[in-house]
Amino acid sequence: MLVKTYCAAVNGMEVTTVTVEVSITRGVMYHLSGLGDTAVKESHDRIAAALLNTGHKFPSADITANLSPADLRKEGSSFDLPLAIAILAANEDMQTDHLAQYMLVGELSLDGTLQPIKGALPIAIKARAERFKGLIVPKANEHEAAVVDTLEVYGMSNISEVINFLNGKYQPEPCYVNTREEFYNNQYVSDLDFADVRGQENVKRALEVAAAGSHNVIMVGPPGSGKSMMAKRLPSILPPLALSESLETTQIHSIAGKLKKDTGLITQRPFRSPHHTISEVALVGGGNNPMPGEITLAHNGVLFCDELPEFNKHTLEVLRQPLEDRNITISRAKYTVTYPCSFMFVASMNPCPCGYYGDPTHHCVCTPGQIQRYLSKISGPLLDRIDIQCEIAPLPFKDLSQAKAGESSAVIRERVIKARTIQTERFKDYPEIHCNAQMSERMIHQFAEPDSRSLDLLRAAMERLKLSARAYNRILKVARTIADLDGSEKVQSHHIAEAIGYRNLDRGDWAERGI
Ligand SMILES: [Zn+2]
């Protein structure tokens, strides 16, 4: 008998419906065709064990199984369940009436339990688009899949439940997630707040400006000055995720298998902070079976590289293209995938290897050569993509203890949202552009052109501070954001003056030190 079941394959962000066909005739052979990877080919043994250990029979017959479309790469073990069900049905060991109504995905353990799979959310979206009545997933994946409405999602613990369900002997309630309620109730539940940060007013201001225009930012300061503490609080002052952004980000984390159990939607902007020993593949994505990297997991959020010069120089170089394009295409012999990666890039570094260059209370023990080597690890082209450079002074204990509690993130966020609203209006005719940081050179001239007095100030500052030519456009972009925070239609000289202050690393004295 020939039986079909349905499941799905995830490649990059693309999901394709896969039909599993199983035909059983007399004989003893098992054939599996349809471009499956090793995990798919090994499914036979898992299925046989799972069926035997749950009191079912693995047919001793000629079994021919095919996964179509045949030219589509299929990887992982989520095909175990639809294969097992098709084999039982083809052997007439279970009913076939409902098989066409459901998509089935799940990895089988040898004892028949269903193990979680990657990509349950995008698969659920596909199942709805293809008008399946329902989707059967491992119990651990039911919350993420049930985010999709008008699709019956059933989380099952083991293969026996699935068999009983399809035989009409077990009728559980579908899993239900109130997506909107979950989304709007959980947008700012983090306990990280800028109110905890005492002092460091200039750095907090720089981060507010960065958040308001979505500018990339680098913080330079000695160890213990609170660089990563402040970076971690950046998502709390960014505008809330839109529901569509939340779905995008959740799908990515679903595909990477990084969603926590019982998580329906990711409701807060992601904050990813990879260690400096991270490999290129883990950072940008790829691998034997394509997986999103940290830059894609940070999509719609923040990627924080603490101790930037400690990262492998080549690993940093590969960041340049995705920072520019906001997506990454990975081509290998076996596949080509594209992942989105629109994130705010935040980095931190010490001013020198020991960390105390320019510190009035500690003595720097680095030689000029060491400092130069350290700074030259960050290439000009990467630095070129960072609009705001912010120097952090070590905070004397006196200031730390006397400073009153900082402004709360909610108050700062209000100002950021106001500035972003102005930008949405400004770029309404440019569907690709959402914020000041993304302005092209032509747009800078159109929207951020300074008046003649400001221009004089800028020229004078560039000469006096020996600012590089590439700093010019960055200053105007950031000044535009500062003017937006100020509610000012024109970019004025004090906006320019503040923006010039965010070019510490471009100044001649830094440049002479190696950057
Ligand atoms: Zn030093």
Q: Distance, CA 364 to ligand 1 centroid (Å)? A: 4
Task: State residue 40 phi and psi, 5-degree precision.
Answer: -70, -45
CA dist 435 and 417 (Å) reads: 11
3-state SS assignment for residue 329: strand
CA dist 510 and 515 (Å) reads: 7
Structure tokens belonging to residue 232: 């971690």
Query: How would you classify the pairing of strands 152-156 and 134-138?
Result: parallel
Q: Distance, CA 365 to ligand 1 centroid (Å)? A: 5
Judge contact between 289 and 12, C-beta under 8 A.
no
Q: What pLDDT does 212 receive?
A: 97
Identify the top-confidence range among 50-54, 261-265, 362-366. 50-54
Q: Going edge to edge, which strands form the sheet with 388-391?
A: 271-272, 302-305, 344-349, 217-220, 388-391
3-state SS assignment for residue 21: strand
Q: Distance, CA 391 to ligand 1 centroid (Å)? A: 15
User: Ion ligand 1 — residues with CB under 5 Å?
Assistant: 352, 354, 357, 364, 366
Q: Name 241's Cβ contacts closer than 8 Å, sequence gap at least 6.
A: 187, 249, 266, 267, 268, 269, 300
From 43, 47, 49, 37, select the one nearest 10 (Cα to Cα): 37
From 164, 167, 38, select the one nearest 112 (Cα to Cα): 164
Q: What pLDDT does 199 receive?
A: 82
CA dist 410 and 77 (Å) reads: 44
**pLDDT, tens only, 98-135:** 999 999 999 999 999 999 999 999 999 999 999 999 99
Q: Distance, CA 103 to ligand 1 centroid (Å)? A: 60
Q: Name 459's Cβ contacts closer than 8 Å, sequence gap at least 6.
A: none
Q: Distance, CA 508 to ligand 1 centroid (Å)? A: 19
Judge contact between 146 and 137, C-beta under 8 A.
no
Q: What pLDDT does 319 receive?
A: 92
CA dist 421 and 442 (Å) reads: 21
**pLDDT, tens only, 207-258:** 999 999 999 999 999 888 889 999 999 999 999 998 889 999 999 999 999 9
Q: Distance, CA 369 to ligand 1 centroid (Å)? A: 11
Q: Distance, CA 276 to ligand 1 centroid (Å)? A: 20
Q: Distance, CA 464 to ligand 1 centroid (Å)? A: 26
Q: What pLDDT does 180 receive?
A: 83
pLDDT top residue among 272 and 34: 272
**pLDDT, tens only, 384-421:** 889 999 988 876 655 656 667 789 999 999 999 999 99
- Give the Cβ contact number of residue 479 at 10 Å: 29
Q: Distance, CA 310 to ligand 1 centroid (Å)? A: 15
Average pLDDT, stretch 302-327? 92
Q: Distance, CA 393 to ligand 1 centroid (Å)? A: 15
**pLDDT, tens only, 447-499:** 998 888 888 988 888 888 877 767 888 999 999 999 999 999 999 999 999 99
Supply the mean pLDDT for the chain. Answer: 89
Q: What pLDDT does 45 receive?
A: 86
Residue 515 scores a pLDDT above 50: no
**pLDDT, tens only, 51-81:** 999 999 888 888 888 888 888 888 878 899 9
Q: Distance, CA 224 to ligand 1 centroid (Å)? A: 14
Please report where in the chains the tokens 């003056």 appear, as a residue: 497
CA dist 199 and 169 (Å) reads: 65
In our burial notation (b when 16+ CB lie closer than 10 A, e otherwise), range 214-235 reads bbbbbbbbbeebbbeebbbbbb
Query: How big is the chain, counted in residues?
Result: 515
Q: Distance, CA 155 to ligand 1 centroid (Å)? A: 56
**pLDDT, tens only, 16-51:** 999 999 998 887 777 787 767 777 777 888 899 999
Average pLDDT, stretch 150-172? 95
